[in-house]
Structure 1
Amino acid sequence: MTSHSATDNGSCFFERNPNLELSRRAFVEGVGTLLLMLVITASGLTAQRLSVENELIILLVIGFATSAALVGLILAFGSVSGGHFNPLITALQWLAGDRKLNCTIAYIFAQFIGGVMGALVANQLFDSTLNISATLTLKPTLVYSEILAATGLMIVVFGCSRGGLTLTGPFAVGAWLLSAIVSTPSTSYANPAIIVSALFAAGPVGLPLDIVLIYLPAEVVGALLAFSIISVAFPRSTQPDESTQSIRKP
């Protein structure tokens, strides 16, 4: 498997130097996911304390905080690890042949560990115990919602990546995520690391196990659907041109 670096093809979500030690790149993915989940959980707890009865305000606070944090983290860490913080992105890059299996496993492991740690740290910051009182009732619309949320996010991510939108890509991802959070019944988790971490999160973003077990496969289905759409929209040429001659293996 090979990987195009950001400097080679001008795309986002790829490391600037794929020859950097894998341990360092995976560490950055873990830290980034930790900070992302910390903000997601903490913003929910903050909004809940400020406006316990107003679900719309809580949703808006979580949406704005999540999208802003994600944009900032991608810009800060993207040159080191690609700024994924989402196993779906990493796995689809491997499926596309852009990332080696050992790198994929290391990234995903770090993302899950980082996400769980982020939820636990947020709980401690707010002195909140795990008390999930989710109002969600499991029904087909939530499953469809999470499929569509993951599909849309991956289309934006890989559309920006293959379109070479290095600087504007993170803002496009943040904009899509904010709109999806406030417009989907499942509030667009669209990230397996965040979903699993929600098991350990107190407050509005916390999820019970039965919801998590349904959302996870829904997100995978959505990611695969997005991969099919992107493959049609941005077909890869079988004949390499001069702009892709320099290929490095992470």
Structure 2
Amino acid sequence: MKHWRQYLAELIGTAALLCAVIGSGIMAENLSDGNFAVALIANTLATVFALYVLIEALGPLSGAHFNPAVSLVMAYRKDLPRERLIGYVIAQLMGAALGAWLAHAMFEMDIFQWSDKARTGEGQWLAEAVATAGLLFVILRSPAGKASSMVASYIGAAYWFTASTSFANPAAVFGRMMSDSFAGISPMDAPAFIAAELVGACVGLVIHTVLSSDQNQDNAKS
């Protein structure tokens, strides 16, 4: 437990992120009078702002993954010591659940609930793979000091160009299946989303690796 501050940072960051996603979804649904586009705009903006702030605030402590797919890739690359991977994932999943419950408590909803919102189909699974591949690609290609703005901007865009509204995060799926709200996902649909995200993370890593290999060869020739 000597790395408890890193685990705590991942728990707090993931909880805050899910609280922002779910809480803004609840608020947007309450105020948008059934206009899905307006609700999605509000949900997108809250997520983008929260993600930027959380990465800036907690990145120096834990790397600000808030995402098991990101932690898995970082452990594979040895950017995250592999013995810490399990601790990161547990902290992220705990944080996701706490963030959902906190959002419910603030809006005086039943704290413990399950979503019945169906999110399924080949298009949505492909969208999750694309969203997660893009996220990992952006993270791995971000210049030093630019990750917070680039990741937040990418997720904001992916909310709108993917059919799934870009979960791109197994912990987000875990937290959102516990919320029968605008941002929720049915537990029955969650495993396919998570599988697609893990595939997408691998694709993002492969694309980055291929491009980096070509870049290294070009540098060697020059």
Q: Residue 134 in 1 paired to residue 112 in 2?
A: no
Among candidates 87, 90, 93, match of residue 112 of structure 1: 93
Q: What displacement does 1:121 show? A: 0.7
Q: Which amino acid aligns with 2:180?
A: A
Q: What displacement does 1:99 show? A: 2.1
User: Contact 2:114 / 2:177 at 8 angstroms: preserved in 1?
Assistant: no
Partner Cα distance (1:150, 1:118) in 2: 21
Q: What displacement does 1:96 show? A: 1.3
SS at match of 1:154: helix
Q: Which amino acid aligns with 1:142?
A: Q
Q: Residue 145 in 1 paired to residue 123 in 2?
A: no
Q: Residue 218 in 1 paired to residue 196 in 2?
A: yes
Partner Cα distance (1:98, 1:48) in 2: 40
Q: What displacement does 1:234 show? A: 1.9
Q: What displacement does 1:131 show? A: 6.3
5+ residue gaps, structure 2, are: 217-222
Which stretch of structure 1 is more off in the superposition, 122-131 or 54-63? 122-131
Q: Percent same amino acid at aligned positions?
A: 28
Aligned-CA RMSD value: 1.7
Q: Which stretches of structure 1, 4 residues or longer, exceed 6 Å deviation after superposition?
A: none
SS at match of 2:137: helix
User: Contact 2:118 / 2:185 at 8 angstroms: preserved in 1?
Assistant: no
C-alpha distance 95-123 of structure 1, shift in aligned 2 (>3 A) = same
Partner Cα distance (1:92, 1:135) in 2: 29
C-alpha distance 23-91 of structure 1, shift in aligned 2 (>3 A) = same
SS at match of 2:115: coil
- What is aligned with 2:48? 67
Partner Cα distance (1:232, 1:131) in 2: 41
- What is aligned with 1:94? 75
Greater fraction helix: 2
- What is aligned with 1:44? 25
Q: What displacement does 1:52 show? A: 3.4
Q: What displacement does 1:210 show? A: 1.9
Q: What displacement does 1:90 show? A: 0.9
Partner Cα distance (2:160, 2:17) in 1: 18
5+ residue gaps, structure 1, are: 1-19, 238-250
- What is aligned with 1:15? none
User: Contact 1:25 / 1:81 at 8 angstroms: preserved in 2?
Assistant: yes
Count of matched residue pairs:
213
The alignment's TM-score, normalised by the length of structure 2, stands at 0.91
- What is aligned with 1:199? 177
User: Contact 1:34 / 1:115 at 8 angstroms: preserved in 2?
Assistant: yes
Q: Which amino acid aligns with 2:172?
A: I
Q: What displacement does 1:103 show? A: 1.0
C-alpha distance 63-188 of structure 1, shift in aligned 2 (>3 A) = same
Partner Cα distance (2:189, 2:141) in 1: 29
Q: What displacement does 1:29 show? A: 0.7
Partner Cα distance (2:146, 2:118) in 1: 36
Q: Residue 188 in 1 paired to residue 166 in 2?
A: yes
Q: What displacement does 1:197 show? A: 0.7
Partner Cα distance (1:52, 1:185) in 2: 22
Q: What displacement does 1:133 show? A: 4.5
Q: Which amino acid aligns with 1:145?
A: A
Q: Which amino acid aligns with 2:148?
A: P
User: Contact 1:142 / 1:186 at 8 angstroms: preserved in 2?
Assistant: yes
User: Contact 2:137 / 2:207 at 8 angstroms: preserved in 1?
Assistant: yes
C-alpha distance 113-131 of structure 1, shift in aligned 2 (>3 A) = closer
- What is aligned with 2:102? 121
